[in-house]
Structure 1
Amino acid sequence: MSSDNDAQALDVFELLLTSEILNQYENLDMDDLPAKFRDISGTTGCNTDIERPVVVSESIADRILCTGKSYELVRKNPFVTFDDFGKRLGISALDAAAGWFSKQDAMERIEKNPVLAYYFEKSGLGGISYEKSKSSIVRFRDSKEYLKARIDEIVGDDEELKIASSLIIISAPEEVEHSIDDLVCTHRQEEALRKINIALKNRDYLKERRIYELGKLLFVGPPGTGKTSLALAMSKKLKMPLLEVRLAMVTSQYLGETSKNIDRIFDLARRLSPCILFIDEFDFVAKSRISDDNGAMKRAVNMLLKNIDTISFVKNGVLLIGATNHPRLLDDAAWRRFDDVVEFPLPDYEMRREILKKITRELDCTCDYDELAEETDGFSGADLRIMIKESLISALMRDSYEMNESDIEQGMGTVKDRDTIRQSVSI
């Protein structure tokens, strides 16, 4: 048998072993299944339970594994059974089959499949950790598949909630590309994240003692300093979907819909909890409050502030994050509604150096990080990313994957030109 066939045969056997373990241990659910095997669960929508008994027919195995010969690949294995009438595959003796599987250079498969890891840990196989295996995969509840099903279930035929869902950008933890480890955070930002993490783990304790003044954060700082990036990374870290709202996009001049839209968005967040509600462009509140000629906008702002008052991370499981580039525009009424203000300054020398190292860690770059950090004084994190992107493009245009000093100068010049144009164009 070819090596490709050997690997495919182990794929089939792993699938059968997984289904047999699921049938014997009913405490395992969808969050224990690797994404590649979720179709055997019989579950639809956002249900995390698994329909038992789990049955693997030849056609199901072929579809999941993208092969047209599942039974043919394993028919000579002494532990595989086959029902000719129902075309069902199975395992005859779990302990013996698992022992055989563990000797087939399958350790990596076991470590990346929590169902197998659970069984092998219980069986005393050294070095196998169920919890470690589970943390290595994307939980079903963190997937965009689950989030879509949950939103569909919540919204249903409710036209108002349909409108709300169309006004926000909803991201599942699985969809977030960057983690906290990819960011260079200030001490204050790290502290805010630790507080929220502790509050999340102790929500019941805090609720019993009526300590609710947690989980309303205001991110303040210039554009490009990482406010949105940290909110997204928190979604991944805390395993909570993120609902991103840009207030300017929610406003409507027709029939007073703006006020209703804000109410609908908060209603959807409460129903979708636990989640993060990220309100960008929060300075829109201030701009609307000082305007005397738009009563609808003032009503909308009052509705926003009222909803902020009634939302609670401890009570409702909604972590509220407001973000603004212009904190001086916010009046006391807006400021006092947040229990924690987190500053996002332009990065200093040390931060720029670390950001550059993280951006280029998977790239070939001959730059001097100390010198480059000095030369990029005043650059935001976003500016540094644009600079490296342009430097890479410059290298690729030379048919090279390695960025040299000339490429870096090209990228730096692009950023400076962008800033010059921005400063010279009157708005």
Structure 2
Amino acid sequence: MKNPLIDILEILLTAEVYNRHEELDVNDLPKPIRKRFWKKEYKSVPKPISVSVDDIKFLLGIENVVKEVKSLPFIEVDKAGFRLKITSLELASSWFNKHDESKEKIETNPSLAFYYEQLKEDGVDYISAKEKVKPKEVDREWVDSLISEIEEEEGGKDMLKLVRIIAPEDIMQPLSDLILTKNQEEKIEKIVRAIKHREYLRQIGLYDIGKLLMVGPPGTGKTSVARALSERLDIPFVEVRLSMITDQYLGETAKNIDRVFELVKKLAPCILFIDEFDFIAKTRVSDEHAALKRAVNTLLKAIDEISLTRDGVLLIAATNHPRMLDSAAWRRFDEIMNFPQPDASMRRLILDIVTRDIEGEFDTAEISNVTEGYTGSDLRMVIREAVLSSLVDNRKYLTQDDLVEAVDNFNERALIKSSDNSF
């Protein structure tokens, strides 16, 4: 049976060790504790941490905290019954270490690993424990702190209106849930290595790096992969659609572009994802709007000047229409990632992932063979249709007939969409 005192004492010990050692910082705190005690104005967890009864209730869901800790003589509850404190670190840490449940907690808690490593406890490794904890940059609280700071600056709110900012922990689909081609996997590994060795690349003068153009039809996973990279690299995701920053007063478009690039430098390290890249870039071949052409030149210049190694910004652009881009646009990117329509084997893998938590008897191999030309987005729509149809029949499991019927319905919609209905 799980001992709630172990969980309570982990929090109190973590706070005590963190408070006592100046060399420990916010990334030495386990994520739940870090998020609970985060202070937006500090962009960190300032010392000292003071643990309240409400903190324990929030983190552990324990209602009668005071009653639980009464049996431990080294925990003091203040007279008001609001705050908890360890009166003897030596006694508390010794009691904690005697329990088998504590071993895993120490191994995944950098603050505790730091303390017990100093005591020369066998098998305790501070560096290993720290590698198991995601950095503060993955947290929504970190991103919110950056946003609040920018909002207070002159023009900050206007900048923030132009983009959508997502914290890595809010990314719904990690890379492990996406089916990638070998070429895509290789490109992603290059990016991961570049981020990891960013300081080295800067030292040897490689600045024109970290600019990736994703090319492929709608629904093939460009946005999903770009977002998943945020989760993989533990850095915020900043999304901008060029159609959103093209002001009705074209003179403002160039200013909006400058604002976006200024913003991402403030949010760095981060990913800047530019969707609909062809929206403006294609206008370089047009003489219609001189102001819009100036905006395009502003965009291309901004891309030239942003740098992964210098500014900490990984720039990813996506287009469904590569032929609309001229050579000047292509030259800005050091990597091109192609997103073809999935073949039958990829379609089956996608279907297997989408249906992995769905009960039923069905054959994804058969469905993959009758969905040629479908994108990953199309396949997810088919599964959604099948699930909703089963719910109409008061079922929470799928049959092969459900999937076949969903494919037929999708094909019918596609036919209607492509037909000429003008009168």
Q: Offset at 1:123?
A: 5.0
SS at match of 1:72: helix
Find out whether 1:182 has 2:177 as its counterpart. yes
Label 1:283 to 1:405 Cα distance change in 2 as closer, same or farther (>3 A): same
SS at match of 1:188: helix
Read off the aligned partner of 1:253 and give its amino acid letter. Answer: Q
Q: Offset at 1:112?
A: 5.1
Counterparts in 2 of 1:8-157, with a 5 A limit? 9-38=5-34, 41=37, 43-48=39-44, 50-52=46-48, 54-58=49-53, 61=56, 69-84=64-79, 88-102=83-97, 103=99, 105-107=101-103, 109-110=105-106, 113-120=109-116, 130=126, 133-134=129-130, 137-157=133-153
> Normalising by structure 2, what TM-score?
0.90
SS at match of 1:260: helix
Q: Deviations over 1:347-368 (max 9, x none)?
A: 0122112111111122224222
Q: Give 1:220's aligned residue.
A: 215
Q: Give the alignment partner of residue 191 of structure 1, picking from 159, 179, 186.
A: 186
Label 1:311 to 1:16 Cα distance change in 2 as closer, same or farther (>3 A): same
- Of 227-236 and 209-218, deviating more is 209-218
> Normalising by structure 1, what TM-score?
0.89
Counterparts in 2 of 1:341-352, with a 5 A limit? 341-352=336-347
Label 1:115 to 1:400 Cα distance change in 2 as closer, same or farther (>3 A): farther
Q: Give 2:389's aligned residue.
A: 394
Q: Give 2:306's aligned residue.
A: 311
Read off the aligned partner of 1:217 and give its amino acid letter. Answer: L
- Of 40-49 and 88-97, deviating more is 40-49
Q: Give 2:406's aligned residue.
A: 411
Q: Offset at 1:155?
A: 3.8
SS at match of 2:385: helix
Once residues 325 and 38 of structure 2 are traced to their aligned partners in structure 1, the CA distance between those partners, rounded to angstroms, is 51
Q: Is the 8 A contact 1:42 1:51 kept in 2?
A: no
Once residues 136 and 391 of structure 1 are traced to their aligned partners in structure 2, the CA distance between those partners, rounded to angstroms, is 39
Q: Is the 8 A contact 1:41 1:51 kept in 2?
A: no
Read off the aligned partner of 2:67 and give its amino acid letter. Answer: E
Q: Which runs of 5+ in 2 are unaligned?
A: none
Label 1:391 to 1:124 Cα distance change in 2 as closer, same or farther (>3 A): farther
Q: Deviations over 1:132-178 (max 9, x none)?
A: 6555555332111111111221342312x321211111111111111
Q: Which runs of 5+ in 1 are unaligned?
A: none
Over the residues paired in the alignment, what is the CA RMSD in angstroms? Answer: 2.7
Q: Give the alignment partner of residue 325 of structure 1, picking from 320, 329, 332.
A: 320
Label 1:416 to 1:119 Cα distance change in 2 as closer, same or farther (>3 A): farther
Q: Offset at 1:370?
A: 2.3
Once residues 83 and 149 of structure 1 are traced to their aligned partners in structure 2, the CA distance between those partners, rounded to angstroms, is 32
Q: Offset at 1:190?
A: 0.9
Counterparts in 2 of 1:270-285, with a 5 A limit? 270-285=265-280
Count of paired positions: 421
Once residues 383 and 153 of structure 1 are traced to their aligned partners in structure 2, the CA distance between those partners, rounded to angstroms, is 40
SS at match of 1:262: helix
Label 1:372 to 1:133 Cα distance change in 2 as closer, same or farther (>3 A): farther
SS at match of 1:194: helix
